Structure 1
């Protein structure tokens, strides 16, 4: 699959250890597989973000893992239990991948597609506000 890459995202990924590069490249490919209209950008000076009518996810490499931040307001179902942190977070949740851990690709693409659908429906803030009524 080909998609438009932001060279700044390449720069971020290329500076990481090989195992973190692999995780980031897999996540990058999967978010684009979820919807070819996803765009890449850099926010917060260096952090790769993937956006489509709002934030979908962001990458942040830490010393011993890679965090994938999901911007879903906690409303996207997680039937495969891939969320590792932020279960009670009001704006987003997170999946941490450590060296050697496999990525449940189908579950992650499913989650990305749900977040994108929510973004297209007005975003999680609007959807949450409508359900509180």
Structure 2
């Protein structure tokens, strides 16, 4: 599963990552992915950097990294996004990225996450 080859089906690799996790992290990644596709049915799923799910539209929207204690959703241009719901709780010191760390038991605020996704797409496509 450690590949960056463009001919590899990213959606299948993301499915495999979710199945391999088989715990709350997989369930959280499923929720995040579901919101992503609801927000943008044309979102492009990619598999980069030796195993990181990436969602793009006009540029990278965000990544979905999984760690032992968190699922980290990092918005590539998060510092430029309004976050009225206060979802961003990680990588706050940088000038570009912002992230949301989801921990076991955390609920995904679908409405607020969708708003961030749509704002990121608008930023990516406003060139």
Superposed CA deviations along residues 4-28 of structure 1, whole A, max 9, x for unmatched, are: 9710111111111321111000000
Q: Does 1:32 align with 2:37?
A: yes
Name the residue aligned to 2:77. 72
Structure 1 ranges of 4+ moved more than 2 A: none
Range with greater deviation from structure 2 (90-99 or 112-121): 90-99
Name the CA distance, whole Å, in 2 between partners of 1:39 and 1:88: 28
Correspondent of 2:89 among 72, 84, 105: 84
Name the CA distance, whole Å, in 2 between partners of 1:75 and 1:91: 7
Q: Is the 8 A contact 2:78 2:120 kept in 1?
A: no
Name the CA distance, whole Å, in 2 between partners of 1:38 and 1:21: 20
Shift of 1:73: 4.6
Name the residue aligned to 2:105. 100
State the TM-score, normalized to the length of structure 1.
0.84
Name the CA distance, whole Å, in 2 between partners of 1:71 and 1:31: 15
The number of residues matched between the two structures is 119
Shift of 1:88: 2.9
Correspondent of 2:121 among 116, 125, 129: 116
Q: Is the 8 A contact 1:73 1:89 kept in 2?
A: no
Q: Does 1:22 align with 2:27?
A: yes
Structure 1, unpaired ranges of 5+: 123-133
SS of residue matched to 1:30: helix
- What is the aligned-residue RMSD (CA, Å)? 1.5
State the TM-score, normalized to the length of structure 2.
0.88
